[in-house]
């Protein structure tokens, strides 16, 4: 590649939190530039947002359909190479399918779609076209999460027996959706968010992190979903007991009514010989615990010899002691996607480190998690089968 990849964006206009995060992450390594956008469902907001981002007037679109059709007619090297979709959940599927149908690769926010059936259709389309789809499960982009994965799947701890993953937030402890909070409004609306609130929003992150690090898959669950704030329609709290395909047991907790908490995602994994602990509030640290040895503390960017995996070091940006956080983790996902896509365009094989980003299969399992956790919570059975 002798140029930057060109990105189009659907959603993410003025005042949209996640759209700005995506643009920062995509821009971080100088591999990607925003070329065009349909940045809002409001034509006025779409145009204003495009101008604020200094897009050319003829690359500012008021409908994503117009953008995809127009961009597909431009010469190669001028048109967008991929589209990033950062709309609410209900508006993921249609632009993603249309983009793939017109030959464009896709980056998409999680959960991947509104329903499991849509997710399966999207996977079928990705398989048919051979195009790339990247799902932005941000937390898998942290270097020490990748180190945890390398150690667990490398058999360092022996057979995995137990997993604890928790994701408490406190921002929905009040009925914020009726107090003018736009983010709360759509996330608690089943017509826009889907059949689950808290579990669909952050429980999917916890489930993905568990399967990503361990390499195991959830096979059965026993779920208890709750609505703690009176007047709310969707769950804002939940607890799930898990069984994995190697016989391991797990506990997943997600809550958006843990008053006082910010974004306290944390995971602990234990095997026969030891375990580890990682927390999003201290993302550069991985605590390693042994059955018969002292506890170790590993740090991202640490000047160790032969300790950190190639996947961890590939995703470290600064020397040890220079904190890297959420934006850098997000940037790692975009960088690996961009390097893979550039290799694809050049007709060369990307490295295994480049290929390490969430894809359509993880998106299908995320939607299956939502379906199964809702079904389990409503069931009179103690344990329900996890079905995809």
| Assigned CATH for 142-319+365-378 | 3.30.360.10
C-alpha 87/C-alpha 231 separation (Å) is 25
Nearest CA to 360 out of 138, 206, 133, 205 is that of 133
Percentage above 90 pLDDT, the chain = 96
C-alpha dihedral, 150 to 151 to 156 to 158, nearest 10° = -80
pLDDT digits (tens, 9 = 90+) for 322-369: 999 999 999 999 999 999 999 999 999 999 999 999 999 999 999 999
Task: Give pLDDT, residue 382.
Answer: 86
pLDDT digits (tens, 9 = 90+) for 231-242: 999 999 999 999
- C-beta of residue 196 within 8 angstroms of C-beta of residue 234: yes
Q: How confident is the model at residue 145 (pLDDT cuts 50, 70, 90)?
A: very high
C-alpha 192/C-alpha 181 separation (Å) is 15
Task: Give pLDDT, residue 293.
Answer: 97
What homologous superfamily is domain 5-135 in, according to CATH? NAD(P)-binding Rossmann-like Domain (3.40.50.720)
Task: Give pLDDT, residue 263.
Answer: 97
In this prediction, residues 34-59 reach a mean pLDDT of 97
Q: What are the CA-CA distances from residue 365 to residues 145, 217, 242, 249, 369 (Å)? A: 20, 9, 15, 18, 6
Tokens 């095997």, residue? Answer: 271
Task: Give pLDDT, residue 166.
Answer: 98
Domain ranges of the chain: 5-135, 142-319+365-378
Q: What is the pTM of this model?
A: 0.96
In this prediction, residues 80-96 reach a mean pLDDT of 97
C-alpha 302/C-alpha 310 separation (Å) is 13
Q: How confident is the model at residue 376 (pLDDT cuts 50, 70, 90)?
A: very high
C-alpha 133/C-alpha 122 separation (Å) is 9
Task: Give pLDDT, residue 15.
Answer: 86
């Amino acid at each position: 590649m002798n140029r930057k990849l060109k990105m189009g964006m659907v959603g993410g206009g003025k005042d949209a939190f996640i759209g700005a995060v995506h643009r920062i992450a995509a821009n971080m390594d100088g591999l990607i530039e925003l070329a065009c956008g349909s940045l809002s469902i409001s034509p006025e907001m779409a145009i204003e947002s495009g101008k604020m981002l200094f897009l050319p007037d003829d690359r500012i679109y008021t409908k994503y359909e117009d953008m995809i059709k127009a961009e597909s007619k431009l010469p190669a090297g001028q048109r967008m190479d991929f589209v990033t979709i950062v709309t609410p959940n209900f508006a993921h599927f249609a632009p993603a399918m249309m983009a793939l149908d017109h030959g464009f690769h896709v980056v998409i926010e999680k959960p991947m779609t509104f329903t499991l059936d849509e997710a399966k259709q999207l996977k079928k389309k990705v398989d048919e076209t051979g195009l790339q789809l990247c799902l932005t499960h941000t937390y898998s982009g942290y270097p020490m999460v990748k180190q945890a994965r390398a150690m667990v799947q490398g058999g360092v701890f022996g057979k995995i027996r137990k997993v604890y993953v928790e994701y408490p937030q406190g921002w929905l402890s009040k009925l914020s959706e009726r107090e003018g909070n736009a983010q709360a409004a759509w996330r608690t609306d089943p017509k826009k968010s889907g059949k689950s609130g808290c579990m669909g929003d952050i429980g999917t992150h916890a489930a993905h992190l568990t399967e990503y690090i361990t390499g195991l898959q959830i096979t059965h669950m026993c779920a208890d979903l709750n609505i703690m704030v009176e007047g709310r329609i969707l769950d804002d709290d939940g607890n799930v007991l898990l069984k994995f395909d190697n016989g391991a047991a797990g506990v997943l907790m997600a809550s958006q009514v843990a008053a006082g908490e910010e974004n306290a995602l944390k995971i602990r994994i234990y095997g026969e010989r030891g375990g580890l602990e990682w927390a999003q509030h201290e993302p550069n640290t991985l605590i390693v615990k042994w059955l018969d040895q002292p506890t170790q503390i590993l740090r991202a960017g640490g000047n160790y010899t032969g300790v950190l995996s190639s996947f961890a070091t590939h995703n470290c940006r600064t020397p040890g002691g220079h904190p890297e956080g959420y934006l850098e983790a997000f940037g790692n996902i975009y960088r690996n996607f961009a390097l893979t896509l550039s290799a694809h365009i050049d007709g060369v094989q990307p490295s295994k480190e480049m290929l390490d980003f969430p894809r359509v299969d993880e998106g299908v399992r995320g939607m299956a998690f939502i379906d199964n956790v809702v079904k389990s919570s409503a069931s009179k059975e103690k344990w329900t089968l996890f079905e995809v």
